[in-house]
Amino acid sequence: MSASNSTACGGLILALVLSGCLGGQTTDTEVSEQLTNQEIAGLPSSQTTTATPKRRPDDPIYVNLAPTVLDKKLRRTEKPSGAIGQHIRHEFLSDPIIQLLPEPKSKIGRKTSLSIPRTADVEVASTVSMREVMRLSGKMDKPGKTIDIVFEATVTSQLPAFSFTVVESGPVLQRMAISKRFAHQIREIIVEKIGPEIPAR
């Protein structure tokens, strides 16, 4: 065999050996591309943290319904005292999802106190006031002054960090129906908007 042929064969054998050794290895560039493809595909990596589990749809939502604050006019005319706030509270007592935390002055048994957490998922602060408005009235639809009752609430939560405002108003003689609509709006916000994002207890 000539020297040139020997050199060529040696080069071919070396190339085959190197190819066999590298065939089962993955280069740094390939590893980087694989990780990038995993990230694009949304696959979890070793550094990905587990998402905080959310409450289930049927789990209770614990709500702190603060005592309703009335303006001066209502405080003078409300009979019995505290009736408006109690009526709003009553709207939630039979709710299957919303669980009201006890009022500060209420006395609860040991069993009940152990089953209710000390911290609320949602805080509700409400105010009720009266105001004069111009409204068409009578057969001739003449404008005249009338008294409206205004229900307003701020609904907040820490986790998730949400804050909502609810307002319902109408003629003071329709205050019962207005308060029902008011409570219904508050419930929708708590159950449908805040509820799905509340962490599991």
Query: In terms of pLDDT, which residue wins out, 157 or 51?
Result: 157
> pTM of this prediction?
0.68
Residue 12 lies in a domain: yes
What is the pLDDT, as a whole number, of residue 96? 95
Domain range for 28 is 3-41
Residues 33 and 107 grouped into a single domain: no
Residue 53 lies in a domain: no
Q: How confident is the model at residue 88 (pLDDT cuts 50, 70, 90)?
A: very high
CATH of the domain at 108: 3.30.160
Q: How confident is the model at residue 59 (pLDDT cuts 50, 70, 90)?
A: very high
Distance CA 89, CA 85 (A): 6
Q: How confident is the model at residue 140 (pLDDT cuts 50, 70, 90)?
A: low
Task: Give me the number of domains the chain comprises.
Answer: 2
Q: How confident is the model at residue 201 (pLDDT cuts 50, 70, 90)?
A: confident
| pLDDT average, residue stretch 42-61 | 72
Sheet strands (E) in 32-181: 61-65, 69-70, 98-100, 122-137, 142-157, 162-171
Is the omega angle on the peptide bond into residue 60 within 30 degrees of 0, that is, cis?
no
Residues 65 and 95 grouped into a single domain: yes
Residue 56 lies in a domain: no
Residues 11 and 98 grouped into a single domain: no
